[in-house]
C-alpha cells in the first residue's frame, strides 16, 4: 500500500487563549522569529476537530478534552509560502485553513515539540496580533475581542 509523504493542503489554526485574552504564541523551529498559534495539516481520515486536538497535543502538550475547543466556522485559503511548498505534492500552491479557538482558564504551562517550536509566550491579544507572521493568524486573534464579548 502506497502512503503519500506529502502534506494534505487542508489545515487547522488553533488560537489558544484565556478569558482575559492572553494568547499563546509559538516560535517556529524551522523559521525562528516566525511566531504563530498552533497550526497543522489534516491527516487522512481525520475530522478537523481531531486534527485540531492532535496538533494542540503535539505542539504544546495541552489535552484539548480538558478545555473548550470551538470551531469558529472560518475558512481561509492562502498561497503556501514558497519555502514550505516542497512538503506538498507537485503543483499544490494553496492551502485551506480552518480556524478553531481553545479557551483555557489561565496561561497554562506548555511542553513544546523541539523539532517544531523553539519558544512559547503568552501575550495580551493586541501584542499577539502584532507579533504573528501570518495575516490569517493575526485576523483570528483580532476576532477574540468580539468573540469574547458575545460569549460572555
Taking only the tens place, the pLDDT of each residue in 61-114 is 999 999 999 999 999 999 998 988 999 999 999 999 999 999 999 999 999 999
Residue 134 marked in a binding site: yes
CATH number of the domain enclosing 21: 3.90.79.10
Domain hosting residue 48, numbered range? 10-151
- Residue 109 is assigned to a structural domain of this protein: yes
Residue 54 marked in a binding site: no
Residue 107 marked in a binding site: no
**Mean pLDDT on 135-144:** 96
Q: Is the dihedral of CA 23, 148, 76, 68 positive or negative?
A: positive
Residue 22 marked in a binding site: no
Taking only the tens place, the pLDDT of each residue in 37-56 is 999 999 989 999 999 999 99
Q: What's the pLDDT at 152? A: 40
**Taking Cα atoms as reference points, which of 44, 62, 98 lies closest to residue 53?**
62
What do you get for the CA distance between the two ends of the chain, in Å?
50
Neighbours of 70 (CB within 10 A): 17
Specify the number of domains making up the chain: 1
CA 101/CA 70 separation, integer angstroms? 5
- Residue 5 is assigned to a structural domain of this protein: no
Beta strand pairing call for 94-104 and 10-18: parallel
- Whole-number percent of the chain with pLDDT over 90: 88
- Residue 3 is assigned to a structural domain of this protein: no
CA 113/CA 26 separation, integer angstroms? 10
Residue 49 marked in a binding site: no
> Which cell is 3 given?
502512503
Q: What's the pLDDT at 150? A: 47
Residue 129 marked in a binding site: no
CA 26/CA 33 separation, integer angstroms? 9
- Residue 102 is assigned to a structural domain of this protein: yes
Backbone angles phi, psi at 138, to 5 degrees: -60, -45
- Residue 38 is assigned to a structural domain of this protein: yes
- The set of residues, in sequence order, having a beta carbon less than 8 Å from that of 37 and lying 6+ positions away, is 13, 14, 15, 16, 23, 24, 25, 26, 132, 137, 140, 141
Residues 112, 77 contacting (CB under 8 angstroms): no
- Residue 50 is assigned to a structural domain of this protein: yes
Q: What's the pLDDT at 146? A: 84
- Residue 67 is assigned to a structural domain of this protein: yes
- Residue 4 is assigned to a structural domain of this protein: no
Residue 39 marked in a binding site: yes
Amino acid at each position: 500500500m502506497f502512503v503519500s509523504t506529502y502534506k494534505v493542503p487542508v489545515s487547522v489554526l488553533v488560537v489558544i487563549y484565556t478569558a482575559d485574552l492572553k494568547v499563546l504564541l509559538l516560535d517556529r523551529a524551522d523559521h525562528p522569529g516566525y511566531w504563530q498559534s498552533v497550526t497543522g495539516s489534516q491527516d487522512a481520515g481525520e475530522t478537523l476537530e481531531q486534527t485540531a486536538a492532535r496538533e494542540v497535543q503535539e505542539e504544546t502538550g495541552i489535552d484539548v478534552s480538558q478545555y473548550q475547543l470551538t470551531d469558529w466556522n472560518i475558512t481561509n485559503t492562502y498561497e503556501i509560502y514558497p519555502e514550505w511548498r516542497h512538503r506538498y505534492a507537485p503543483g499544490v500552491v494553496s492551502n485551506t485553513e480552518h480556524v478553531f479557538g481553545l479557551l483555557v482558564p489561565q496561561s497554562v504551562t506548555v511542553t513544546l515539540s523541539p523539532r517544531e517550536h523553539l519558544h512559547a509566550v503568552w501575550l495580551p491579544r493586541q501584542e499577539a496580533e502584532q507579533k504573528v507572521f501570518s495575516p490569517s493568524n493575526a485576523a483570528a486573534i483580532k476576532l477574540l475581542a468580539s468573540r469574547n464579548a458575545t460569549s460572555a
